[in-house]
Amino acid sequence: MTVSDANRPGDQALIEFRDITKIYGEGHAAMHALGGISFVIEQGEFVAAMGPSGSGKSTCMNILGCLDTPSAGVYLFHGTDVSRLSREGRALIRRNYLGFVFQGFNLLNRTSALENVELPLFYRGMHLRDRRALAHKALKAVGLNGWERHSPSELSGGQQQRVAIARAIVADPKVLLADEPTGNLDSVRSREIMDLLAGLNRDSGITIVMVTHDRQMASYANRIIHFLDGLIVSEGSNGGTA
């Protein structure tokens, strides 16, 4: 499955949520994680989602990443209604259009940096020579040229997150979803990672959606969406001032 060109007019937004709700449980035990949120993200934006724990921002990210489905509403990705896709269809969206960066790095400890970065391409069935070339290119893009053979245990936290970012961008995704990408790093390494993400957004045009609780990290984004109690309470241009 591919995103249909027939559903992609020239002014079509990359991502659009229309009255998305998410309810866990039923009856008196029902928990409304999202109460009907709507927003648009254009190609090339850098958007930060902020809010306290339980505000709905992580649920929103999971739906954006096709890791969860809404209870109601419409999620459009380049005109394709993702909320109506099968599990297999959502998996193909993840594989072909999305890259993920997590707070905990999620690297395979017993494999090299190069092999970690190759992993998404391996699952696509790409030939070893081709995926290795792309993995080398991705590691160079994140400043880890020469570190290909090192395992995660031989790398600092900042270097491990760079490997994770290389893995996320190796397949040239349209959108990079970053969930607290600096949460396990000190302030110096956090700024290095945010400088890297901002550079990828600026120089490669990759769209970035980032969940963070840190206002300083959010200042790198061009727009901030604030969540509270499952609703969007404010959003606006930020200017990427960091």
Please provide the size of the chain in residues.
242
Answer whether residue 2 shows pLDDT above 70: no
Would residue 157 count as lying in a domain?
A: yes
Which pLDDT tens digit goes with each residue over 192-202?
Answer: 999 999 999 99
The DSSP element (H or E) to which 92 belongs, if any, is: helix 87-97
CA distance 229 to 174: 29
> Has residue 242 been placed in a domain?
no
- Is residue 154 within 8 A of residue 111, CB to CB? The reply is no
Residue 208 · residue 197 · CB < 8 Å: yes
Is residue 218 scored above 90 in pLDDT?
Answer: yes
Percentage of residues in the chain with pLDDT exceeding 90?
A: 83
* Structure tokens, 40: 């648009």
The count of other CB atoms within 10 Å of the CB of residue 85 is 18
CB 208 within 8 A of CB 200: yes
The pLDDT, as a whole number, for residue 228 is 96
Quote the pLDDT of residue 123: 86
Q: What tokens does 221 get? A: 């984004």
176 pLDDT more than 60: yes
Cβ–Cβ contacts within 10 Å for residue 219, how many?
16
Q: Is residue 120 part of a domain?
A: yes
Q: In what order do the strands lie in the sheet with 72-77?
A: 31-41, 15-24, 72-77, 80-81
**pLDDT band of 4, cuts 50, 70, 90:** very low
Write down the pLDDT at residue 219. Answer: 95
pLDDT at 26: 87
For residue 70, is it within any domain? yes
> Is the residue at 139 inside a domain?
yes
Total domain count for the chain? 1
Average pLDDT, the chain: 91
The predicted structure's pLDDT at residue 1: 41
Domain membership of residue 89 (yes or no) is yes
Residue 42 lies in a domain: yes
Domain span at 132: 5-237
CA distance 23 to 25: 6
Categorize the per-residue pLDDT at 181 as very low, low, confident or very high, splitting at 50, 70 and 90: very high
Which of 20, 15, 57, 49 is closest to 35 using CA atoms?
20
Query: What is the per-residue pLDDT across 142-171, written as a single tens digit (0 to 9) for each?
Result: 999 999 999 999 999 999 999 999 999 999
Per-residue CA distances from 189 to 27, 44, 47, 149, 241 (Å): 45, 24, 21, 22, 18
pLDDT at 196: 96
| C-alpha 45: how far from chain center | 12
Secondary structure (3-state) at 30: coil
User: Domain containing 53 — which CATH number?
Assistant: 3.40.50.300
Q: What is the pLDDT of residues 50-109, one digit of tens each?
A: 999 999 999 999 999 999 999 999 999 999 999 889 999 999 999 999 999 998 899 999
Instruction: Determine which helix (DSSP H) or strand (DSSP E) holds 210, and give its type and residue range.
Output: strand 207-211
Percent of the chain residues past pLDDT 70, beyond the cut: 94
Return the H-helix or E-strand segment holding 224.
strand 223-228
Question: Could you tell me if residue 133 is inside a domain?
Answer: yes
Distance CA 99, CA 56 (A): 21
The two three-digit tokens of residue 96, written as one number:
């072909």
**Cβ contacts of 10 within 8 Å, gap of 6 or more:** none
